[in-house]
Structure 1
Amino acid sequence: MKPFSRAERVSVKIQSNLSELLHKKVSDPRLEMATITGVKLTDDLRHAQIFFCVSGGKKAKYEALAGFKSASGFLKKSLAAKLGLKFMPALTFLYDESLDYGSHINEVLKSLNVDGDSETPEDTES
């Protein structure tokens, strides 16, 4: 058995080619700071979920979504030429919430006093 499925191999190619297209061919200012964080492709290679992140808060997130929506035809056509698949998957762009969640968790951990300077309940009993 192969270590990776065809869908996984194609999704890696889509991610790398799409990242290259964003940096070299797309001139939409809404997509300048967008980074492709992952691609999830169905086993039949018909639908691809493209995950991206962008800095700048909610406004930048919605602007990037609009930018991807307007550029999706160009991106799909360009990817089809590079990938050479029988059928080009339908592209759906989704904001990757995991980075925001990780940042939130990091802030929560920083707000806690975890450096050991505070007294613990065992210390106060003696």
Structure 2
Amino acid sequence: MGHRDFKRSDRVAAHLRRTLATAIHQDLPDEDTSFITISDVEVTRDLSVATVYINTLDPSQEKLAIQTLSLNAKQLRRVMAQQLNTRKVPELRFKYDASLEYGRKLEHLIQKARATDPNLTEEDA
């Protein structure tokens, strides 16, 4: 498990992120996936599992997005199998990436704090 293996899973993750982003919008014609974006993909070192972090324009669509992608995971894996030149295609697991939402909440809290205390400056936040 040397340095090269780590790089390989990174390469596969980057490749998966690109191809999945396209596949989700092009290869699932029966699904509305326009509101889903992929923020990150992490692949286990043995390439058996890929965790796909997704975002939705509206946080209330999170469950629908995960459901849609999970139901279509087989189809997406088939598309990945054609695109990846690895012996095995990782199992796809979809997770909601809450970091974007966390950033939005933080921004909102800072704005609220500023509104209630006009003397609050950037340095205090």
Alignment coverage as a number of residue pairs: 115
Alignment match, 1:20: 22
What does residue 66 of structure 1 align with?
67
Once superposed, what is the RMSD of the aligned Cα atoms? 1.9
Q: TM-score under structure 2 normalisation?
A: 0.84
Distance in 2, matches of 1:117 and 1:110, equals 10
- The aligned residue for residue 123 of structure 2 is none
- Tell me how far 1:73 sits from its aligned partner: 0.4
Give CA deviations for 1:6-63 in whole Å, capped at 9, x if unaligned.
100110000000001122222211x2210010000011111110000002232x1111
What is the 5 A alignment of 1:2-17?
Answer: 5-17=7-19
Which consecutive unaligned segments of at least 5 residues does structure 1 have? Answer: 120-126
TM-score by length of 1: 0.83
Question: Which letter maps to 2:108?
Answer: E
Identity rate of aligned residues, in percent?
23
4+ residue runs over 3 A deviation: none
Residue type matched to 1:91 in 2?
A: L
List runs of 5+ in structure 2 lacking aligned partners. Answer: 121-125
Instruction: Answer with 1 or 2: which has the greater Rg.
Output: 1
